[in-house]
Chains A and B, each alone.
Chain A
Amino acid sequence: MARMKFLCDAQRCIECNACVTACKNENEVPWGVNRRRVVTINDGSPGERSMSVACMHCSDAPCAAVCPVDCFYTTDDGVVLHDKDICIGCGYCFYACPFGAPQFPKSEAFGSRGKMDKCTFCGGGPEADNSPEEYAKYGSNRLAEGKLPLCAEMCATRSLIAGDGDTVSEIFRERVTWRGASGLTWGWGVAYGKKGIRRGHDVEGKATGGD
């Protein structure tokens, strides 16, 4: 069974924000909600590195664990999705998420946030695939069309890779072989301090694909 994964190669990310706007384009995400963002560490200093980050579709997703209404579900592809009809906009997923992925359309008094919105791996939601209702709530469902998330497909330097964990690993392994040096990757394993960052060739897809 495929397990969909994102991987960001920090050696290549140039903070061009293509992934961010590609997401807006594909899903018509409104101003103020950013399902993906690029974070730069050590901005303007030697050692500067950027990484594109969004929902990493964790195997043991903290958002799903803490959700008081249990609105999350994981698809057969390992994509973590949620049901906006059930979501109550409590914000717990945002507290628990290591990546700051959950977004809320507003932030008003009396805890009014609106329904949570996050990266769907361009996989839509519980409604019928590619239905108008699904698009209105969750944006595009590229997976159902046999396509991958647009952010990764449009990445300027192919830093952001998406797809089945094994294939992502393969691509990255090949790249690191060319490079002959370490890879700086950004993946699920990193956030949890698991294996996957110590050695360049030990990539994230492998680190997280198995469990």
Chain B
Amino acid sequence: MAAHKKTGARHHRIIVWSLLSLVGLTLLLPLIPYAVAYVNPETGGVPNPGADLWRAVREADVGTTQVQGVDTGVLINANGERWRHFRMNQLIPIGAMLMGSVLALIVLFYLVRGPLRIQGGPSGKKIQRFSVFERITHWFTVSLFWLLALTGLILLYGRFVLIPVLGPEGFGLTASACKEAHNLFGPMFLVAILMMFVTFVKDNIYARGDLNWLLKGGGMLGGGHVSAGRFNAGEKIWFWIAVLGGLVLSASGLVLDFAVFGQGRAVMEISHVLHGIAALVVITVSFGHVYLGTAGVEGTIGSMTNGYVDEAWAKTHHDRWYAEVKAAAGKTEEAGSVGGGATASSVVSPVRDG
């Protein structure tokens, strides 16, 4: 048994070494005439300085130059090709496929399943879900997000989509405006993301039941009701994707937007890669969020427009939150009965009001 094992190992080693030698020879053989040609009568057998030179060049050794500026000493920007490959062969097609397929899935889902209804229909009684401040925070972020997403997507895909429509000059102007808008408003997105985080982080921390919610696919798998707090696990994941993605976008965006600190191309390229990936992930996931907040779930839209949802909606989707609100309302009865004319003063809310 042991002997057998040894033989196997030896075979393995032989194969590896053979392959390595072959690869090595393939690489080295073409160099021989070059090396031979260089043996100059004067320099004798001095090794070819050219080989070192080109190695240095290919490995992007930084040379010296009298021209001032970023990366001027670099002869060959080896990352350039990789970055080009990433942008043109990965980011653009994969991003398009990702966004396209998610959109298609959503449409398909809607057509097949239709919107999620409130169990038992709306009760007619309203309950406040988001305060004014929360809604302002949300819509502030939303505006910036879509402004940046759209301008960004135009810069990414406009060449393929819009040039045929607008012509090169027309698109040039559009793209220029997009670039300016993206660069000017970009830094504000960091503010929005931080506001979002501060405002909603409290209710987006993992809680008992979130795993179960996830396992049951938010109630879509296996049927039956799944319990959830103010935000369900799906919403929490979205929150963290948005916040973390937003931070990555902001950080990389700032690096790209303020190229005044002498950051080299490598840093810019990496920032661009992160920016692109983060943007596409957040944009793609946001499709789901938008769907669920609007057409996907009956009665949700009100939470972000006037701030109120139907009590039945709350019971259906966020039963624990509903229970908490009710319990809190019980404690502060003097505020008057819940329901009826939903005025702000009569609202009982577990959250701090703006």
Contacts and interface: CB of A to CB of B under 8 A. Distances in A.
Interface of A: 10, 15, 17, 20, 32, 34, 37-43, 46-47, 49, 51, 53, 62, 65-71, 83, 85-92, 94-100, 103, 107-113, 180-182, 184, 190-193, 197-201
12 contacts: A37-B67, A39-B74, A42-B56, A68-B159, A68-B175, A83-B168, A86-B168, A95-B272, A111-B256, A181-B40, A182-B37, A200-B38
B34 A88 contact: no
B75 A88 contact: no
A39 B77 contact: no
Nearest to B49: A47
- Top 3 A-B pairs, shortest CB-CB distance: A86-B172, A37-B67, A111-B183
B81 A62 contact: yes
Contact of A190 (B69, B76, B175): B76
Nearest to A183: B50
Contact of A111 (B57, B71, B172, B257): B257
Interface string B31-75: 101100110100000001110111011100101111111111111
A34 B57 CA distance: 21
A198 B27 CA distance: 11
B86 to A, nearest CB: 10
Interface in B257-287: 257-260, 265, 268-269, 272
Contacts of B56: 41-42
Contact of B65 (A32, A38, A42, A95): A38
Contacts of B171: 69, 86
B63 A40 contact: yes
Interface of B: 30-31, 33-34, 37-38, 40, 48-50, 52-54, 56-58, 61, 63-78, 80-81, 83-84, 87-88, 155-156, 158-159, 163, 168-169, 171-172, 175-176, 179-180, 183-184, 256-260, 265, 268-269, 272
A84 to B, nearest CB: 10
Nearest to A42: B56
Contacts of B74: 39, 100
Given A86-B172, A88-B175, A69 B77 contact: no
A70 B84 CA distance: 14
Given A88-B175, A97-B80, 13 more contacts: A20-B66, A37-B67, A38-B67, A39-B63, A39-B73, A62-B80, A66-B83, A86-B169, A95-B80, A98-B81, A100-B71, A111-B258, A190-B54
Contact of B53 (A10, A62, A201): A10
Contacts of B33: 198-199
B183 to A, nearest CB: 4
B75 A41 contact: yes
A51 to B, nearest CB: 6
Given A65-B84, A88-B175, A41 B34 contact: no
Contact of A100 (B77, B163, B259): B77
A108 B260 contact: yes
B54 to A, nearest CB: 6
Nearest to A44: B64
A70 B65 CA distance: 31
A198 B65 contact: no
A193 B176 CA distance: 35
A71 to B, nearest CB: 7
Nearest to B79: A95
Given A88-B176, A181-B38, A198-B34, A53 B75 contact: yes
Given A51-B75, A96-B83, A99-B77, A200 B34 contact: yes
Contacts of A47: 49, 52-53
Contact of A39 (B65, B176, B259): B65
A198 B34 CA distance: 6
A109 B159 contact: no
B31 to A, nearest CB: 6
A110 B186 CA distance: 9
A108 B74 CA distance: 22
Contact of A85 (B31, B57, B169): B169
